[in-house]
Chains A and B, each alone.
Chain A
């Protein structure tokens, strides 16, 4: 089976986590041009990421997953505002609270300890300058090396990723989509950061290129021993790269488990549906689809936000919000049908 090649045993859970997100809430607050509303894009999310672990975040469009990672890396611009909770990283044994840092301190952490790979790699690479300038602008100030040593390190890093050092002298438009994305990954990892956030890094790529890029990401992650926060809506990508997956629905974390557990024995009805509805080559059994539509974050349903579409919905689901509780070791789920209704 081809996927097995990419799988590594999950990192030990005992180690001190690199990232602790605690009861994080972030809303879009707008009151202008005749509108006045809160969009609860991140609503009470807690999670931890261990060293060397790839933590996947899955969710549909406008489920709040992109807002979640923006909030985690501290890229908060109005109208987005953090309403509650904390985000703490552990870099080199030192705990850094993202929201307690000054912008200058945040700047020194970026690239060196924490870096991002985003969907549109063209945005990072300046379209009118050779790629070497992007390396110089972003990575050089954080490496603390003399120019000669810096370029030597960059070339060694590119070689490690099977990239021709000639890309340094190319312009972004001269590279194919896959090459551009690999170059962005090289740029994001050249400072060997402890934590890497990837948002839909392969979504715009073709199937064959996507597989190459995912293999490369998994490979570099294993070599650097970094932790990853990997966001994508595509469950088969999570099956391939993530050690653990958290499922986000309407701004809340509804289930979290190690990837094989999630695919074999999901507990939340939404996760069960996501897994069951994936079409597979060689399997023609009928795939059902969920009724209803993903809820609006501006006006989410009461109680459990999934209840209008849930086949197991009970009366309590309409009134109370189920907490995310540990249903089995390292398997958390927010569903009254699993945890039992509160008395």
Chain B
């Protein structure tokens, strides 16, 4: 594992840069726990100060320190992405592996559900959820809803791998060794789909964070948990750009761009790691 990471860093500049950005983000998450101000408190600092030595990223019109808001927002946004990715990966693994291995009627039923989820228009559904749930639409609820929407594509991908694994002779060997289906899926087949799971994790995070930001900016979420989208929402509602408080908007937008670039680079290099031909090309061997 260590040598794989070392060689990926050495031969794959995308991975190195992506990893660097990821480490920066993790540092931000750690830093957020040392914030001098509680996240939701307002007017704790003088409002509308431009960036200077004391307030690195200035302060907002609501009297909050932009830097610490950003750190806490990054933590929540990343946590959101990881939460959705984690839950939806579990769903897609269970559905994909089971459908691919079991085949027949199980496969048809699971894929009917899978395809229905795939064609649901996501954005209108999310807005609908907001209007139905109103105040119950909190951070955790949104994680659950997006997880329930974000597994279907990857379940199909995993199913196709599972279908070919089922025909491999070692699967027959496992069956005649008396192993249960659960044991075969978890111990024999899971290692083969893990690279795909890792790669799709990045794409899934990009998707779910993008969704959260879109909803937040429009105000369709719980406005009390600071996230990247929340920051932009409050900045807009105080007309930050018009009143020249540009740093209030620039900080979250910049952070989002960096976050997306990092995830995209990692996802790309993961894809390359999965395909050994391009990996060898890269190594120049």
Q: In the complex, A touching B, CB below 8 Å?
A: yes
Residues of chain A whose beta carbon lies under 8 Å from any beta carbon of chain B: 30, 32-34, 78-79
Nearest A residue to B279, CB-CB: A33
Contact of A34 among B4, B11, B284, B285 (CB under 8 A): B4
**Least Cβ–Cβ distance between A74 and chain B, in angstroms:** 19
B7 within 8 A of A: yes
Complex: A60 Cα to B259 Cα, angstroms: 53
Residues of chain B whose beta carbon lies under 8 Å from any beta carbon of chain A: 3-4, 6-7, 11, 283-285
**Chain A contact surface mostly:** loop
A30 x B7 contact (CB < 8 A): no
A33 x B4 contact (CB < 8 A): yes
Complex: A34 Cα to B285 Cα, angstroms: 14
For A79, the chain B residues whose CB sits under 8 A away are: 285
| 15 sample A-B contacts, Cβ–Cβ < 8 Å, listed by A number | A30-B285, A32-B7, A32-B11, A32-B283, A32-B285, A33-B3, A33-B4, A33-B7, A34-B3, A34-B4, A34-B6, A34-B7, A78-B284, A78-B285, A79-B285
For A34, the chain B residues whose CB sits under 8 A away are: 3-4, 6-7
For B3, the chain A residues whose CB sits under 8 A away are: 33-34
For B7, the chain A residues whose CB sits under 8 A away are: 32-34
Complex: A79 Cα to B283 Cα, angstroms: 11
For B6, the chain A residues whose CB sits under 8 A away are: 34
**Least Cβ–Cβ distance between B29 and chain A, in angstroms:** 30
Complex: A31 Cα to B7 Cα, angstroms: 10
Complex: A30 Cα to B11 Cα, angstroms: 15
**Least Cβ–Cβ distance between B150 and chain A, in angstroms:** 32
For B285, the chain A residues whose CB sits under 8 A away are: 30, 32, 78-79
Complex: A101 Cα to B79 Cα, angstroms: 60
Nearest B residue to A79, CB-CB: B285
By Cβ-Cβ distance, the 4 closest A-B pairs, closest first, are: A34-B3, A78-B285, A33-B7, A79-B285
**Least Cβ–Cβ distance between A34 and chain B, in angstroms:** 3
Nearest A residue to B285, CB-CB: A78
**Least Cβ–Cβ distance between A99 and chain B, in angstroms:** 20
Which of A30, A32, A78 has the largest number of chain B CB atoms within 10 A?
A32
Which of A30, A33, A34, A79 has the largest number of chain B CB atoms within 10 A?
A33
For B283, the chain A residues whose CB sits under 8 A away are: 32
Nearest A residue to B2, CB-CB: A34
Nearest A residue to B4, CB-CB: A33
Complex: A34 Cα to B11 Cα, angstroms: 13
**Least Cβ–Cβ distance between B7 and chain A, in angstroms:** 5
Nearest A residue to B6, CB-CB: A34
For B284, the chain A residues whose CB sits under 8 A away are: 78
Complex: A30 Cα to B283 Cα, angstroms: 11
Nearest A residue to B284, CB-CB: A78
Nearest A residue to B11, CB-CB: A32
**Least Cβ–Cβ distance between A145 and chain B, in angstroms:** 37
Nearest B residue to A35, CB-CB: B3
For A30, the chain B residues whose CB sits under 8 A away are: 285
Nearest B residue to A33, CB-CB: B7
Complex: A78 Cα to B283 Cα, angstroms: 11
For A32, the chain B residues whose CB sits under 8 A away are: 7, 11, 283, 285
**Least Cβ–Cβ distance between B21 and chain A, in angstroms:** 24
Complex: A32 Cα to B10 Cα, angstroms: 10
Nearest A residue to B10, CB-CB: A32
Complex: A34 Cα to B3 Cα, angstroms: 5
Which of B6, B283, B284 has the largest number of chain A CB atoms within 10 A?
B283
Complex: A78 Cα to B281 Cα, angstroms: 10
For A33, the chain B residues whose CB sits under 8 A away are: 3-4, 7
**Least Cβ–Cβ distance between B107 and chain A, in angstroms:** 28
Complex: A5 Cα to B285 Cα, angstroms: 47
Nearest B residue to A34, CB-CB: B3
Extra inter-chain contacts (4) besides given A32-B283, A34-B3, A78-B285, CB under 8 Å = A30-B285, A32-B7, A33-B7, A34-B4
For A78, the chain B residues whose CB sits under 8 A away are: 284-285
Complex: A33 Cα to B6 Cα, angstroms: 8
**Least Cβ–Cβ distance between A25 and chain B, in angstroms:** 19
Nearest B residue to A32, CB-CB: B283
Nearest A residue to B282, CB-CB: A32
Complex: A30 Cα to B4 Cα, angstroms: 15
Complex: A32 Cα to B11 Cα, angstroms: 10
Complex: A33 Cα to B11 Cα, angstroms: 10
For B4, the chain A residues whose CB sits under 8 A away are: 33-34
For B11, the chain A residues whose CB sits under 8 A away are: 32
Nearest A residue to B276, CB-CB: A33
Nearest B residue to A77, CB-CB: B285
**Least Cβ–Cβ distance between A81 and chain B, in angstroms:** 10
Complex: A33 Cα to B280 Cα, angstroms: 10
Complex: A45 Cα to B6 Cα, angstroms: 38
Nearest A residue to B1, CB-CB: A34
Complex: A78 Cα to B3 Cα, angstroms: 21
Nearest B residue to A31, CB-CB: B285
Nearest A residue to B273, CB-CB: A33
Which of B4, B6, B11, B285 has the largest number of chain A CB atoms within 10 A?
B285
